[in-house]
Amino acid sequence: MVSTISPNSTIINVAAICGSLRKASYNRGLIRSAIEITNQSIPNMSINYIDISPLPMLNTDLETNGTYPQPVTTFRNQIQQADCFLFASPEYNYSVTAPLKNAIDWASRPPNVWADKAAAIVSAGGGFGGGRSQYVLRQSGVYLDLHFINKPEFFVNAFELPAKFDEDGDLIDEQAKERLKKVLLALKAFTLRLRDE
């Protein structure tokens, strides 16, 4: 639910999820950059990175009497409390990564906590910049009742020159940062639109 702090301002809480577990991942770098951009220049919006590495692989045998393992319960609560989502989705074998698909599936278990919220996807990778993973994620979003923004799209080739990322995986390309900011602004606007605000 969108958190209202005064009659004239609304804080939008964004849950940011990265499909890569690697600390120096370029996609995690996109999330770090999104947090920095939001803190500096997008008022009334807050991005919270959610670590999906503690989640066990989906196994319904782990569900007992309608309850989930503690890491899953924690994750589901974080998803439920968010107003919208930012996915940083690398591309593995023309698809999303196993950790990201696992997280999506855990949060879709009854009751589905993704439903009826806005989302955006950004990707960094080789060639097409991770773009094919975005199409797979959008397909899952249809069933999850997630409402992805359509434009602007954001893909970045992490390996072309001049370098887009530094050795720590942080985004250093100013044009890419401007494009990322446009995605965040579109996500904010769409979230408010879905809430009729």
Q: How far apart are CA 83 and CA 13, in angstroms?
A: 5
Residue whose structure tokens are 């997008």: 42
Q: How far apart are CA 30 and CA 34, in angstroms?
A: 6
Q: What is the pLDDT of residue 129?
A: 67
SS3 per-residue string spanning 124-141: EECCCCCHHHHHHHHHHH
Q: How far apart are CA 41 and CA 63, in angstroms?
A: 42
| Cα angle, residue 138 at apex, residues 195 and 154 outer, rounded to 5° | 85
Q: What is the pLDDT of residue 5?
A: 36
Q: Where are the domains of the chain?
A: 3-54+70-194
Residues of the chain with pLDDT under 70: 1-9, 129, 197
Q: What is the pLDDT of residue 65?
A: 87
Q: What confidence tens digit (pLDDT) does each residue in 7-37 have? A: 346 899 999 999 999 988 999 999 999 999 9
pTM of the model: 0.92
Domain 3-54+70-194, what fold? Answer: Rossmann fold (3.40.50)
- Spatial neighbors of 12 by CB under 8 A, at least 6 apart, are 2, 3, 44, 45, 46, 83, 84, 188, 191, 192
